[in-house]
Amino acid sequence: MKLRTILLTTALSLATYTAEAGILSDWTSFIWEDIKDIRCHHKYDVYIPLYEWHNRLTYDKEHIDKYNENAWGAGFGISHYNQENTWSGIYAMAFKDSNSYVETYFGYARQWNWTAGDNNQWRAGVGYALGLTQRHEYSYIPVPLPLPMFGVGYRAFDLRAAYVPGVKNDGNVLFIFSSFSF
Give catalytic status of residue 98 as yes or no.
yes
Residue-wise burial string across 108-137, b where 16 or more C-beta atoms lie within 10 A, e elsewhere: bbbbebeeeeeeeeebebebbbebbbbbee
Catalytic residue (one of 34, 45, 97, 158)? 97
**Burial (CB count <10 Å: 0-12, 13-18, 19+), residue 168:** exposed
97 is a catalytic site residue? yes
Q: Which candidate in 42, 54, 158, 179 is catalytic? A: 54
Among the listed residues 79, 88, 98, 179, the single catalytic one is 98
DSSP sequence for 71-119: --EEEEEEEEE-TT--EEEEEEEEEE-TTSSEEEEEEEEEEEEEEESGG
Answer yes or no: 45 catalytic. no
Instruction: State the catalytic residues.
Output: 54, 97-98
